[in-house]
Amino acid sequence: MIETTTLDNGLRVVVDQHPGQVVYCGLAVDAGTRDQLESESGMAHFIEHMSFKGTQRRRSWHIINRMEAVGGDLNAYTGKEHTVYYCTTLRKYLSRALDLLFDITFFSTFPQNEIEHEVEVVIDEIESYNDSPSELIYDDFDALLFPNHPIGRNILGEADRLHQYQTKDLAAFTRRLYHPSRMVLFVYGDVTLRVVEKMASSLISSTEKNLYAHIEPRFSPLTSSHLSPLTSRIKKNTHQAHVIIGCQACALGDERYMGLALLTNILGGPGMNSRLNVSLRERRGLVYTVESSLTGYTDTGVWTTYFGCDHEDVERCRKLVHRELEKLIDSPLSASQLAAAKRQMCGQTIQAWENGENVAIGMGRRLLHLGDTCSLEQYCADINRLESQQLCDIARKMFDTSRLHTLIYD
């Protein structure tokens, strides 16, 4: 059962009590790439790295060894709208895990000597990413889709700007955005909300909020604007051509989001029976990878289809993708097709739910961005409520050629 509460300092807490010896916990912070000022390229991600490099109570070695010493695991990642610090540990070490999570989140000191070392690590990460066109193309597509807006900026930032950061810059960012009221503490495991609430209250006093006299508002909302469909080409001299076709999509809380998620799964989900995999790979042998994805944000979303193919096959593959999109627009799913699609997506979801870490992080992120929680039963019920004509209507709106942009690495 999922339970929530809010502490006096504004920190929201969500606990899903689940039997087992292992507990998954973390802090989801409402601060990501799109919260950065223009002068703060890569700042949210860099702070995620630097939070492991020293606090008022611990040095770097003490942080990385604290959970590892008892068989646990401490990690973090940064997204466009949030940063998540999370830990997996045995239930008896939950107090230790929460103490460490609160320490690195609220009391990091960002030593200048550690900044100078970690900048090189992040630059290596950037270069590694640049060497992977199948990943890099998603960043370039975001920039195409959201020109001159923070959500279109890449998460890792730029090497030249990273070299300029000092302790005071990182401290200013966290003072502006790392407030308890902008966070969710999530715990998934055999523990009660009351126990977690007591632990959290002892780690951060309600008076702690006085350290944050000024709380920044959320990022500037995305102003809706219609971009004429663009086809952009970037010369990469890669063995394969890499192609993304996509558009701005509905936001996380939009009533159409679940329907679009099901359409995305039908079209290019992980199953080998996805329509695009069957059309481009199984029948014609044109690609090794073809996949569709949907990313939801609080006020918008991104829908994409990606494939890699020989350079001479780009236009043929594009036509095949558009043909499958047209089928979803013009041909409602039969009762048996719809039932099979629902069954597949629910099955995939149930299996993914077996991963406690994914469940815990997803629970925290949902409360952070949507202000509510969702059980597995609710999620599958939402899928099963979808109707064929409803999906056609969503496809007609989202997959119209007047909305679709294309980016090609050739």
Residues 22-61 have pLDDT tens digits of 999 999 999 999 999 999 999 999 999 999 999 999 999 9
**pLDDT confidence bin for 18, thresholds 50/70/90:** very high
Give me the pLDDT at residue 228, please: 77
Q: Could you write out the three-class secondary structure of the chain?
A: CEEEEECCCCCEEEEEECCCCEEEEEEEECCCHHHCCCCCCCHHHHHHHHCCCEECCCEHHHHHHHHHCCCCEEEEEECCCCEEEEEEEEHHHHHHHHHHHHHHHHCECCCHHHHHHHHHHHHHHHHHHHCCHHHHHHHHHHHHHCCCCHHHCCCCCCHHHHCCCCHHHHHHHHHHHCCHHHEEEEEEECCCHHHHHHHHHHHCCHHHHHHCCCCCCCCCCCCCCCCCCCEEEECCCCCCEEEEEEEEECCCCCCCHHHHHHHHHHHHCCCCCCHHHHHHHHCCCCEEEEEEEEEECCCCEEEEEEEEECHHHHHHHHHHHHHHHHHHHHCCCCHHHHHHHHHHHHHHHHHHCCCHHHHHHHHHHHHHHHCCCCCHHHHHHHHHCCCHHHHHHHHHHHCCCCCCEEEEEC
Phi–psi pair at 244, nearest 5 degrees: -125, 130
Give me the pLDDT at residue 215, please: 54
pLDDT above 70: percentage of residues in the chain = 94
CA distance 72 to 51: 18
Tokens standing for 285?
Answer: 């042998």
| pLDDT digit string, tens, across residues 111-147 | 999 999 999 999 999 999 999 999 999 999 999 999 9
CA distance 112 to 133: 33
Domain spans, the chain: 2-211, 231-409
Determine how many CB atoms are found less than 10 A away from the CB of residue 314.
Answer: 22
2-211 and 231-409 in the same fold: yes
Give mean pLDDT, residues 170-184: 96
- Cα torsion 248, 387, 336, 399 to 10°: value is -20
Q: CA angle, corner 30, sides to 26 and 33, nearest 5?
A: 110
CA 320 to chain centre: 29
| pLDDT value at 311 more than 80 | yes
Which of 60-64, 78-82, 218-222 is the least confident region?
218-222
| pLDDT value at 221 more than 90 | no
Beta carbons within 8 Å of 9's beta carbon, 6+ residues apart: 180, 181, 204, 205, 206, 208, 209
In this structure, are residues 192 and 19 in contact, taking their beta carbons and an 8 Å threshold?
no
Superfamily of domain 2-211: Metalloenzyme, LuxS/M16 peptidase-like (3.30.830.10)
Give me the pLDDT at residue 298, please: 95
**pLDDT confidence bin for 174, thresholds 50/70/90:** very high
| pLDDT digit string, tens, across residues 351-396 | 999 999 999 999 999 999 999 999 999 999 999 999 999 999 999 9
Give me the pLDDT at residue 339, please: 98
Question: Nearest-CA neighbor of 407 among 152, 157, 166?
Answer: 152
Give me the pLDDT at residue 206, please: 42
pLDDT above 90: percentage of residues in the chain = 91
CA 154 to chain centre: 13
Give mean pLDDT, residues 334-347: 98
Give mean pLDDT, residues 315-324: 98
Superfamily of domain 231-409: Metalloenzyme, LuxS/M16 peptidase-like (3.30.830.10)
Give mean pLDDT, residues 219-243: 81
In this structure, are residues 16 and 184 in contact, taking their beta carbons and an 8 Å threshold?
no
| pLDDT digit string, tens, across residues 193-218 | 999 999 999 997 643 544 544 455 55
Tokens standing for 291?
Answer: 């996949």
Q: What average pLDDT is seen over the chain? A: 94
Give me the pLDDT at residue 224, please: 54
